[in-house]
Amino acid sequence: MSKIIRDTSLILLMSLFLFGNINAYAAEDVPHKVVIQVSTDNPRTQKIALNNAVNLQKLYGIDNIKIEIVAYGPGLGLLTNKSKQAKRVESLALQDITFSACQNTMKKVKRKTGKMPVLLEGVGQVAAGVARIIELQEQGYAYIRP
């Protein structure tokens, strides 16, 4: 009789363990998180960065992924009113893709040209683009640099 109780208890404990883990994974249904670096003024590379973001949203669904595109150095131009991708960036900003412009780069441009770059509608600012990428990676974001 004690063997039956022991075996039944063992099966019950194993079932609870397995069931508990399955529920833990379901409850932890955290969206994917991706940071995309844009640090070049190459139009083809900038377009690939935007394509990567769109393709990830299509694959996982807009509610299942967080995407932030961080632009600094020569890549800052993607997020300004002089960008050939301006309309697309503004449109993607409305589709839950976060765009962050490096203030360090903006200040450098102002020192060189005397004018602060004009950012597109929906673009935010961060103190330092590289630091923002580090912070996002520390929060579990995957890193992509096209």
In this structure, are 49 and 94 located in the same domain?
yes
In this structure, are 45 and 12 located in the same domain?
no
* pLDDT interval class at 3 (50, 70, 90): low
What are the pLDDT digits (tens) for 23-55? 333 323 558 999 999 999 999 999 999 999 999
In this structure, are 81 and 121 located in the same domain?
yes
Judge contact between 123 and 88, C-beta under 8 A: no
Q: Percent of the chain having pLDDT more than 70?
A: 79
In this structure, are 78 and 128 located in the same domain?
yes
Nearest to 32, CA basis, from 1, 69, 67: 67
In this structure, are 40 and 88 located in the same domain?
yes
Task: Tell me what pLDDT residue 58 has.
Answer: 97
What's the average model confidence in pLDDT over 75-104? 98
In this structure, are 18 and 43 located in the same domain?
no
In this structure, are 36 and 50 located in the same domain?
yes
Number of domains in the chain: 2
Domain of 126?
31-144
In this structure, are 64 and 129 located in the same domain?
yes
Helix (H) or strand (E) holding 143: strand 142-144
What are the pLDDT digits (tens) for 55-67? 999 999 999 999 9
pTM of the full predicted structure? 0.80
Residue 84 identity (one-letter amino acid) = K
In this structure, are 106 and 131 located in the same domain?
yes
Task: Tell me what pLDDT residue 31 has.
Answer: 87
